[in-house]
Amino acid sequence: MTLLTLALAASLATGPAPAAPAAAGKPLVLKLGTLVAEGSPWHTMLVKMNEDFVKISNGTVKFNIYPAGVLGDEPDLVKKLRIGQLQAAGLSAVGLSLIDDGVYSLHLPLMFNSDEELDWVRERISAKLEADLAKKGFILLTWTDGGWVRFFSKKAFRTPDELRKIKLFVWAGDQKSLELYTVTKFRPVPLAATDMLTSLQTGLIDALDTPPLAALINQWFGMANQMLDLKWAPLMGSVVVAKSAWAKIPPDQQAKMLAAARAASRQMRAEIWKLDADAIPAMVKRGLTVTTLDAATRADWQKEVESYYPLMRGKMGPATYFDEVVKLRGEYRARRPAAK
């Protein structure tokens, strides 16, 4: 998926060769790049998907999985997908938005209050997002979940104005987020996600936004040991495969593989949310300081961020997606007043 569990590894100078159709006993090998760390829950899910694909195809279709960013950062992975050096990738919503920016609509800051609210909206908008991705040449095998993004920093802060004084990581290649942070007077620093730890150590950045589980696994909290307990946005991921490679798989196997991929993701989901929640007390025991917000300060954050929504609408993805997400969120909250 994703921004989620990154390793510091150099990108390969050249990507792998394109997939070839199964012939003379040779399987169709789908080369899959991802930033998730080997052995992480997301990597385990990819391994399970591969096992299912091999079983469904009687060994004629398989993944070669390249974890931990060894094929580069997510912008690199997307480039390699487009030129055929990769056939599949596990991407975060940030990486997926480089293919189709409608995905931004599902990870806008302070748009959602709960897992249930996000799920309700995503279930009703995902078919259109998947259709748009297909038009761009990619099949979305499954959505994945990464937890709720929070701010981690070297120095504690409580308000947006205090955050404005801090050098904040922004993904290199995510030009829209960079422009939004800049116009709203923050101090974004665009970097490759694979350079996160080094950048914290050298002072190139002082803060990042990431799910707690990622901060724990990658030990980022050791340098950025202050966490603001504000659910900034949900981080989703996905597994995508190039249509040109997918078309080489028989249609009856495609249907079974899609079902298997989504089943693997569902099985992982509960574990991810629990691990993400458990990561916070685990880090507190090892020196993390958590800053909690009172209701008034939390309301100030919500008010300020919502004042930026007109800037995001049509900029962070098509306006039609933004409007649909707001509409669906309103419908959810009208049915469940406690979610407001």
Give pLDDT tens digits for 274-291: 999 999 999 999 999 999
Provide the 10 A C-beta neighbour count for residue 13.
5
Sole residue written with tokens 């974890």: 67
Instruction: Label residue 137 left, alpha or beta by phi (over 0 means left) and psi (-120 to 50 means alpha).
Output: left
Q: What angle do CA 322, 81, 211 make, to 5 degrees?
A: 50
CA distances from 204 to 29, 127, 159, 172, 288 (A): 40, 40, 22, 14, 21
Please work out, in degrees rounded to the nearest 5, the angle formed at the alpha carbon of residue 270 by the alpha carbons of 327 and 72: 85
User: Cα-Cα-Cα-Cα dihedral of 39, 45, 50, 54, to 10°?
Assistant: 120
Which pLDDT score, from 0 to 100, does residue 291 have?
98
Interatomic CA distance for residues 14 and 150, integer angstroms: 35
Pairing mode of beta strands 207-210, 138-153:
antiparallel
Q: With contact defined as beta carbons under 8 Å apart, do 97 and 78 qualify?
A: no
Eight-class DSSP state of 147: E
Cα 193 to Cα 69: distance, rounded to the nearest angstrom: 9
What is the model's pLDDT at position 23? 43
pLDDT of amino acid 338: 60
Structural domains in the chain, sorted by start: 28-339 (3.40.190.170)
> Count of alpha carbons within 13 Å of 136, Cβ hemisphere only?
21
Q: Which residues of the chain have pLDDT under 50?
A: 1-24
How far is residue 264's CA from residue 48's CA, in Å, rounded to a whole number? Answer: 7
Is pTM beyond 0.85? Reply is yes
